[in-house]
Structure 1
Amino acid sequence: MKPRIAVVGGGWAGLAAAVAAVQRGAQVSLFEMAPTLGGRARSTAPKHPGAPALDNGQHILIGAYSATLDLMRTVGVDPEQVLLRRPLSLVNAHGQGLRLPQGPALIALTRGVLSHPAWTGPERLALLARSGVWALRGFRCDPRLSVAELCRGMAPALRRDLIDPLCVAALNTPADQASAEVFLRVLRDALFSGPGAADLLLPKAPLAELLPHPAQRWLEQHGATITLGQRVEALGALSTADAPGADGIILACSALEAARLTQDIAPTWSREAAAFGYEPIVTVNLQAHGLDGRPLNLAAPMVQLPEHTEAQPNPAQFVFDQGQIQGQPGRFSFVISGAAPWVERGQAATLAAIQAQAEALWPGARLAVESYVAEKRATFRCTPGLHRPAARPDPRLSPRLVVAGDYIEGPYPATLEGAVRSGQAAAHALV
């Protein structure tokens, strides 16, 4: 008889868990309290007919996300069709900056660093030397170090052009607050996972088409049941009324929801899950056209923006040209990672600052804000020595209750890959 598995949560961790459980012969029931699947990487319905579907933010994958890419293939998605693959580049609006050529990542990094136009010879050699030391140490360090402390003594240009933007993009936490241990793990995976591991993979399709919708179709075709718009109020109710005879439960909901559901049966674990600090991400989508009405463009699909101007700090660290990525000319996504200060300032102040950034990019352009999306708990704050709860809230419950999510104890920051791997591990533990 097939084991019955209830999955609570339909984000990427829950979908990964459900697919893996079905593959291992389980009868799966998935419950999601939102009206759509996808969690913090989802799409919403367009505001009016003919308008593009809105994602809850601009997401980036990298070539090293092997579990995520394999899961997409399992549910019938060809990553090459829905993702724009480009070698890693951190370039400014003029196309100048770090560009990694194709090939083995370490060789590509060396070539990219040595050809960087804005760094001096000593700065290039110092960066390669520092990277070599990290590699010799196995990309490990004292877990109490921040990224800023790890890079103490590094030239300001290297911090400004490479370390700080990579850190906030990967960990969504400023370098002076971010875990050096996790940052080095991300570098290790990008540099030692084979050719193409450091490549940027930018969604050419709405996030829903990358995994949530195809996974839903795949699960239903394989006999799973999916219930949307229903919040699980208690685990006891779930195991008796909604999924009678459930042999195992996978909590793949948010840390706060998991804390609520386990507060009576695993109070210590519940307190750990509820203790996270969070960092928001804000995405502002706007249209930009020249005075002649033609859509504008950027030097690359993803462009790095300066942190400060003479007048004020800039909010967005990156801007994405959706004309090059999704075939929507004139549409741009300005992304603010580690956005807590701007969320506090409010939407009006943030939009005004983004408008100023866009005007600096395209003087005299016709600009129109399309949408403002603030994901207030986009990721946990990835700080040094952060304690993350284990996948099993209580050893006594281990045969039937496992938690999955990017916040569960593990080596990855809050990424899609971390969520997928955690979901798959939970399914393997139960089935």
Structure 2
Amino acid sequence: MKRAQVIGAGLAGLSAAVALSEAGYAVTLSEAARQAGGRCRSYRDPQLGLTIDNGNHLVLSGNKAVRDYLATIGASDRLVGPEEARFPFTDMASGERWVLHPNAGLIPWWLFSKRRRVPGTAPLDYLVLARLMGASAEQTIGQVLRPKGALWERLLDTFLVSALNTPAKGGSAALAGAIVRETLAKGGSACRPMIAEPTLAAAFVDPALAWLETRGANIRLGRRLRALALGERVTALDFADGREEVAAGEPVVLAVPAWVAADLIPGLVVPDEHHAIVNAHFLATAPGAAPITGVVGGTAEWVFAFPDRLSTTTSAADALAEEDRETVARKLWADVARVHDLPSDLPRWQIVTEKRATFSATPDQEKRRPGCRSSHDNLFLAGDWTKTGLPATIEGAIRSGRTAAAAVVNGKV
């Protein structure tokens, strides 16, 4: 049986390992951390007494790579969400509330219903989304759209900063257009918000590990790769626990963070600017609440309602990440309490910050994203920072793993 090495057990590495196993490879999956999942991990938090995710990751029903991956590992039922695309919003300044409610089909008749579109907007305002889908690789969102008005202030700014994890005006218009093309442009049936149930690990990680184990994969956690022996191809892998030779014709998929890949591969150009994401978890509930609510004009951007907690996410949160943790918790709880009409008293909380959560999705950084093929014959790259055609998202990470695996198989390495 053909053998393959996959380094990194985040979603890109797991996706690559699953795809290679499907193609008949005996996979060895190595991960530096003592648990798989990368940034999509779950853990037992002693401060809350709950199992929580390190971050709140939203998936949309139109994310095909996600759907295919979950179907393969037998976890399609681990994503839950409403039967329709409904996004409640609360404006912190005015207190106004509304629901963005696209219809399921391709013809966007919802734009002609005041109850379904953003308040203060007209149907023709949404034509600006077509400009994003036709944007060039050089253009920023601020160059393509006018960053003012009700549509921008009450939807696009929040939507785009969270999609790109980059201040919206300076973000890549082409990447924003790719998100629109795969979601809103396909109708509400592609926009239903889906949340991992009960945790990210239970949906994306644990079923993948179990699936791989039943197919004979060798999964080795807590195994850090220190160096690659490189020539025309990778000839050996130097792990902290010893050196492992790589046989002729044996592919290596490197699915590690961009800065780690750059350290391992001399001359590799990767995105080198990143932004933080701040997530907060509160030991409080709001029975009957929508699973996700958008926040306009607050510190939080999205409020998530789980059966055992309320959580928030703030993207491009570099400044917030440097503030005192309790101060951050109080700011975010003020938004949650306002959204769900809860007491202002701060419940037990936890703040989880990823300071280098994703690369900065600007046109300049987009140019630095490599493809899946390296300059070494048997070395392939995977990760949401590679050239996926999307910003750094779960969909992009899973897609990158499948792309790298396809390059291995099609190249007959």
Which of 286, 293, 300 is the equivalent residue of 1:303?
A: 293
- Residue 160 of structure 1: CA displacement? 1.0
1:281 matched to 2:277:
yes
Find the aligned partners of 2:335 and 2:220 in 1 and give their Cα distance.
43
Partner of residue 225, structure 1: 218
What do residues 153-190 of structure 1 show as CA deviations (whole Å, max 9, x unaligned)? x6521111111011012111111221111101100111
Does the C-alpha gap of structure 1 residues 283 and 215 become closer, same or farther in structure 2, counting only changes over 3 Å?
same
SS at match of 2:16: helix
Equivalence map 1:239-278=2 (5 Å):
241-242=243-244, 244-245=246-247, 247-263=250-266, 267=267, 269=268, 272-273=269-270, 275-278=271-274
Question: Residues 11 and 397 of structure 2 are in contact (CA less than 8 Å); yes or no, is this contact kept in structure 1?
Answer: yes
Find the aligned partners of 1:108 and 1:73 in 2 and give their Cα distance.
32
Question: Residues 102 and 116 of structure 2 are in contact (CA less than 8 Å); yes or no, is this contact kept in structure 1?
Answer: no
Find the aligned partners of 2:303 and 2:24 in 1 and give their Cα distance.
44
Find the aligned partners of 2:96 and 2:206 in 1 and give their Cα distance.
36
Partner of residue 189, structure 1: 182
Partner of residue 302, structure 2: 318
- Residue 97 of structure 1: CA displacement? 2.4
- Residue 141 of structure 1: CA displacement? 1.1
Equivalence map 1:395-406=2 (5 Å):
395=375, 397-398=376-377, 400-406=378-384
Which of 122, 125, 128 is the equivalent residue of 2:123?
A: 125
Question: Residues 100 and 111 of structure 1 are in contact (CA less than 8 Å); yes or no, is this contact kept in structure 2?
Answer: no
Partner of residue 32, structure 2: 33
Partner of residue 151, structure 1: 145
Partner of residue 361, structure 2: 382
Does the C-alpha gap of structure 1 residues 74 and 112 become closer, same or farther in structure 2, counting only changes over 3 Å?
farther
Counterpart residue type for residue 164 of structure 1:
D
Does the C-alpha gap of structure 1 residues 198 and 382 become closer, same or farther in structure 2, counting only changes over 3 Å?
same
- Residue 369 of structure 1: CA displacement? 2.9
Structure 2: gaps (5+ residues) = 230-235
Does the C-alpha gap of structure 1 residues 389 and 178 become closer, same or farther in structure 2, counting only changes over 3 Å?
closer
Partner of residue 425, structure 1: 403
SS at match of 2:392: coil
Does the C-alpha gap of structure 1 residues 108 and 281 become closer, same or farther in structure 2, counting only changes over 3 Å?
farther
Counterpart residue type for residue 201 of structure 1:
M
Partner of residue 393, structure 2: 415
Partner of residue 71, structure 1: 69
Question: Residues 167 and 175 of structure 1 are in contact (CA less than 8 Å); yes or no, is this contact kept in structure 2?
Answer: yes
- Residue 6 of structure 1: CA displacement? 0.5
Find the aligned partners of 2:53 and 2:319 in 1 and give their Cα distance.
22
SS at match of 2:14: helix
Partner of residue 335, structure 1: 313
Partner of residue 116, structure 1: 117
What do residues 346-400 of structure 1 show as CA deviations (whole Å, max 9, x unaligned)? 32331232243345444644431321100111111101243133235643x13x0
- Residue 88 of structure 1: CA displacement? 4.0
Which of 368, 371, 379 is the equivalent residue of 2:350?
A: 371
Equivalence map 1:80-119=2 (5 Å):
81-85=78-82, 86-92=84-90, 96-107=97-108, 109-111=110-112, 115-116=116-117, 118-119=119-120
- Residue 244 of structure 1: CA displacement? 4.7
Question: Residues 320 and 334 of structure 1 are in contact (CA less than 8 Å); yes or no, is this contact kept in structure 2?
Answer: yes
Does the C-alpha gap of structure 1 residues 60 and 380 become closer, same or farther in structure 2, counting only changes over 3 Å?
same
Structure 1: gaps (5+ residues) = 289-294, 308-313
Does the C-alpha gap of structure 1 residues 124 and 429 become closer, same or farther in structure 2, counting only changes over 3 Å?
same
Counterpart residue type for residue 144 of structure 1:
E
Does the C-alpha gap of structure 1 residues 423 and 356 become closer, same or farther in structure 2, counting only changes over 3 Å?
same
What do residues 272-299 of structure 1 show as CA deviations (whole Å, max 9, x unaligned)? 22x52111111111134xxxxxx54575
SS at match of 1:53: strand
- Structure with greater helix percent: 1
TM-score (norm 1): 0.84
Question: Residues 382 and 400 of structure 2 are in contact (CA less than 8 Å); yes or no, is this contact kept in structure 1?
Answer: yes
- Residue 78 of structure 1: CA displacement? 2.2
- Range that drifts further, 15-24 or 90-99: 90-99
Find the aligned partners of 1:99 and 1:306 in 2 and give their Cα distance.
13
Query: Would you say how many aligned residue pairs link Structure 1 and Structure 2?
Result: 393
TM-score (norm 2): 0.87
CA RMSD after TM alignment: 2.6
Question: Residues 131 and 144 of structure 2 are in contact (CA less than 8 Å); yes or no, is this contact kept in structure 1?
Answer: no
Q: Percent identity?
A: 29
Counterpart residue type for residue 369 of structure 1:
R
Find the aligned partners of 2:96 and 2:244 in 1 and give their Cα distance.
55
- Range that drifts further, 55-64 or 347-356: 347-356
Question: Residues 114 and 124 of structure 1 are in contact (CA less than 8 Å); yes or no, is this contact kept in structure 2?
Answer: no
Find the aligned partners of 1:334 and 1:144 in 2 and give their Cα distance.
32
